Amino acid sequence: NAGVTQTPKFQVLKTGQSMTLQCAQDMNHEYMSWYRQDPGMGLRLIHYSVGAGITDQGEVPNGYNVSRSTTEDFPLRLLSAAPSQTSVYFCASSSLAGVEEGEQFFGPGTRLTVL
């Protein structure tokens, strides 16, 4: 099992550009989520999904879109990048029972810089 994979590992964007951060898991987990991690701010939930076709907003959804067309993939789209979106982005997945237990599996992260 590869676990949770994220691509790219690093990305530099210019203000106004759009891009998609990829996240995939091979554990057949129903639950997937995106967090951003900023210094001194901890992790903040952007969007999450409890199954294919079902997504919901977290704490900081503005400027981001998600979709869940398959169980395996949960891409995060930045529609028009802003410097405030400079951050490290983590994808996580879990079974629905597992998320109840806090057993989320985190990916390695994508470090995004917006100039």
Partner 1 sequence: AQSVSQHNHHVILSEAASLELGCNYSYGGTVNLFWYVQYPGQHLQLLLKYFSGDPLVKGIKGFEAEFIKSKFSFNLRKPSVQWSDTAEYFCAVKGGAGSYQLTFGKGTKLSVIP
Looking at the Cβ atoms of 10 and 14, the one nearer to partner 1 is 10
Sole window of 14-22, 34-42, 67-75, 78-86 interacting with partner 1 (rule: CB under 8 A) = 34-42
Looking at the Cβ atoms of 81 and 93, the one nearer to partner 1 is 93
Looking at the Cβ atoms of 17 and 95, the one nearer to partner 1 is 95
Looking at the Cβ atoms of 17 and 61, the one nearer to partner 1 is 61
∠ CA 51-54-56, nearest 5°, is 115
Q: Find all residues with CB under 8 Å of 42, minimum gap 6, and list them.
A: none
- The span from the CA of 104 to the CA of 64, in Å, is 21
- Reading the block at residue 25, the tokens are 């898991």
- The span from the CA of 75 to the CA of 113, in Å, is 18
State the binding string over 71-90 for partner 1 (x if CB under 8 A, else -).
-------------------x
- The span from the CA of 19 to the CA of 81, in Å, is 8
**Sites for partner 1 among residues 38-67 (CB under 8 A):** 40-45, 48, 50, 58-59
- The span from the CA of 13 to the CA of 20, in Å, is 11
Interface with partner 1 by CB under 8 A: which residues? 31, 35, 40-45, 48, 50, 58-59, 90, 92, 96, 99-104, 106-109
